[in-house]
A and B are shown apart, each in its own frame.
Chain A
Amino acid sequence: MSDNNKKQQKENARRRFLRDSLSAAAGAFVLAVGLGAYQRSAQAVPARAIRPPGALPEKKFQAACLRCGQCVRACHANLLRNNDMPEMSTEGPAEVNPNASVELEPVLRLAESGNDIPTGTPYFIPRISPCRLCEDMPCVQACPSGALSEKNLLDKEKKEPSIYQARMGLAVLINHENCIGFQGLRCDVCYRNCPVIDKALTLDMQVNQRTGVHTRFIPTVHSEHCTGCGKCERSCILEHPAIKVLPLALARGELGHHYRLGWQEKEEAGKSLIPEALQLPARRPEELL
């Protein structure tokens, strides 16, 4: 009898344990599905949000960033705004030195909940406040996890990190139709504001076909040097900027990997890889002969 009772008790305990575990697992599953669905829908980062310098590629960044905001706190431009500026070197060109800047909008922000940027991750909006390219890289220094890292800013020639190796995005003259330079007017504002002037941004000269005698100065971005700081976008005089910084993945085209450029191959090989083009007889209409 008492043996049976014990058996029954054991059986009941086993059932209770099973029931408890199953309901816990089911509850957790419901929560996890909700979280997963929300997370998937919100994982894409909008084009207007640019990550701070030294950030890992976006996918890795989302794994690495601890959402702590220490980069935002360290951002010199943010501190300047709060009048909490630490002692800083006043060397360097005015464009680069945040002490010389009078802009008071914060640069780095943390994405708020409900924003389409992953909650708690840092970004800046170039049109509102571009990255000041501080040479001491305070945001990178502040990052505890390596989501922002000097490793991503290594100058391979000098063998030390440099803010000019930042590739936060790429400036793109996205709407030449409305660019003042394309109209044949002198503007140059984006060019003059570029911290890597004459390397990242040049003015290419073209004949102004409208007048036939003037030159058009065309702002031209060179991805090899562009840091994506966004000073060009910030300074564009249009109502909406004709030059915009876009995330690299969005901005850059990529040549098919099978593609070969004949003149490069020729230089490498020292000679053309195919027989020189045949000299065909010129065929012209009779009267031109």
Chain B
Amino acid sequence: MNARIPGHEAVARKGWLLANRWLLLRRISQLGILGLFLAGPLLGIWIIRGTLSASETLGFLPMTDPLIMLQSLAAGHPAASTAVIGTLIVVVFYALLSGRVFCAWVCPVNLVTDTAAWLNRRMGMKKVLHLSKSTRYWFMAAILLLSLGSGTIVYEWLNPVTLLQRGLLFGMGMGWMLLLALFLFDAFLLRRGWCGYLCPVGAMYSLLSPAAVLRVKADGRERCTDCQDCFAVCPEPQVIRPALKGDAQSTSIILSRNCLNCGRCIDICPHNVFRFSRRT
């Protein structure tokens, strides 16, 4: 008997478009945002200047990455007001909407790690490494301590998020090797290893939104046939179980702040168990 391929049943029941709707929208969002950044240097259309670490949109709207800002503070620099306002805008936006929306809808590295996860799944790779899901929080704390100790923004030496985007905008240098290493790590050593266990940028965005509004809800959980497709495609599979398999009194809303709100479970479920909802 052939192994079940996640998505086949969804496509068969709902049609290709509905089984890939949120994935397509997400790709449009990711590539569109990258395109807005690239339009300046490539076409001379300056909508956004800068990178994901700090940018200016339409000549007045600043945005600053909160983790980079925190490192700068830890390193001992009281930032100028533009960067502070930019950070506040980002923090408020993601705290209200949902922090890891950044990971699923904005971060360019998601394109790399999604591909790696797909490859990992199709090859039926077994877990080689065992890491704790909370490693990322410790790593984030370590980065802030290192910034404090060294007086420099240490993580920007390594940060694949800005490294990839800055590379596309200003020149990649040796950065592609790091991204290749990241891809191989995710594809062969630990599925979703980077985004799901290690990435301190994602950890920061997780911490931002303890009470975010946007949530996925396992609304039709009584229709669940235990096909496991959602667990197979979810970047943070541990967040689904409490909502999907909880008893009748428990909420069917996915409450974990680690949920990316990527909507892939909504796509992949052949029986439309999930939908986007609000925290209530």
Q: Which residues of A contact B (CB under 8 A)?
A: 20-21, 23-25, 27-29, 31-32, 35-36, 38-40, 42-43, 56, 59-60, 62-70, 72-74, 82-84, 109-115, 118-120, 142-147, 149
* B residues 135-189 in Cβ contact with A at 8 Å: 135-139, 141-143, 145-147, 150-158, 162-163, 166-167, 169-175, 177-178
Is B138 touching A24 in the complex (CB atoms < 8 A)? yes
The A/B interface has a contact count, at CB < 8 Å, of 190
Cα–Cα, bound, A63→B173 (Å): 22
Cα–Cα, bound, A111→B49 (Å): 17
Is B50 touching A68 in the complex (CB atoms < 8 A)? yes
Is B56 touching A144 in the complex (CB atoms < 8 A)? yes
What residue of chain A has the Cβ atom nearest to residue B152's Cβ? Answer: A62
Q: Which residues of B contact A (CB under 8 A)?
A: 40-41, 44, 46, 49-51, 53-56, 62, 64-65, 68-69, 72, 75-80, 82-83, 86, 130-139, 141-143, 145-147, 150-158, 162-163, 166-167, 169-175, 177-178, 197-198
In the complex, what residues of A have CB within 8 A of residue B173's CB?
A: 111-115, 119
Is B198 touching A31 in the complex (CB atoms < 8 A)? yes
Is A112 touching B171 in the complex (CB atoms < 8 A)? yes
On whether A63 and B151 interact (CB within 8 A), knowing A113-B173, A145-B54, the answer reads: yes
Is B170 touching A69 in the complex (CB atoms < 8 A)? yes
In the complex, what residues of A have CB within 8 A of residue B82's CB?
A: 144-145
Is A24 touching B137 in the complex (CB atoms < 8 A)? yes
Pull 23 A–B residue pairs with CB atoms less than 8 Å apart, ordered by A. A20-B134, A24-B132, A24-B133, A27-B139, A31-B198, A32-B142, A35-B157, A39-B150, A43-B150, A60-B151, A63-B76, A65-B153, A66-B83, A67-B153, A67-B162, A110-B166, A110-B171, A119-B156, A119-B157, A144-B50, A144-B86, A145-B82, A145-B83
Is A112 touching B56 in the complex (CB atoms < 8 A)? no
A151: shortest Cβ distance to chain B, in Å? 10
A116: shortest Cβ distance to chain B, in Å? 11
What residue of chain A has the Cβ atom nearest to residue B65's Cβ? Answer: A66
What residue of chain B has the Cβ atom nearest to residue A43's Cβ? Answer: B152
Is A31 touching B174 in the complex (CB atoms < 8 A)? no
Partner of A112, one of B83, B142, B175: B175
Cα–Cα, bound, A115→B78 (Å): 27
Is A66 touching B54 in the complex (CB atoms < 8 A)? yes
Cα–Cα, bound, A82→B53 (Å): 24
Cα–Cα, bound, A25→B138 (Å): 6
What residue of chain B has the Cβ atom nearest to residue A39's Cβ? Answer: B154
Is A69 touching B169 in the complex (CB atoms < 8 A)? yes
Cα–Cα, bound, A109→B171 (Å): 9
What residue of chain A has the Cβ atom nearest to residue B179's Cβ? Answer: A113
Cα–Cα, bound, A114→B166 (Å): 13
What residue of chain A has the Cβ atom nearest to residue B167's Cβ? Answer: A113
Is B132 touching A63 in the complex (CB atoms < 8 A)? no
Is A70 touching B166 in the complex (CB atoms < 8 A)? no
On whether A120 and B138 interact (CB within 8 A), knowing A69-B170, A144-B56, the answer reads: no
Is B170 touching A64 in the complex (CB atoms < 8 A)? no
Instruction: Known pairs A63-B153, A66-B83; list 18 more (Cβ under 8 Å).
Output: A24-B135, A28-B136, A32-B143, A39-B157, A40-B150, A60-B151, A62-B153, A63-B147, A67-B162, A73-B46, A110-B171, A113-B175, A114-B173, A119-B173, A142-B56, A144-B56, A144-B62, A146-B79
Partner of B77, one of A29, A68, A144, A145: A145
Is B132 touching A66 in the complex (CB atoms < 8 A)? no
B203: shortest Cβ distance to chain A, in Å? 10
Is A64 touching B72 in the complex (CB atoms < 8 A)? yes
B193: shortest Cβ distance to chain A, in Å? 11
Cα–Cα, bound, A27→B197 (Å): 10
On whether A66 and B69 interact (CB within 8 A), knowing A21-B132, A145-B83, the answer reads: yes
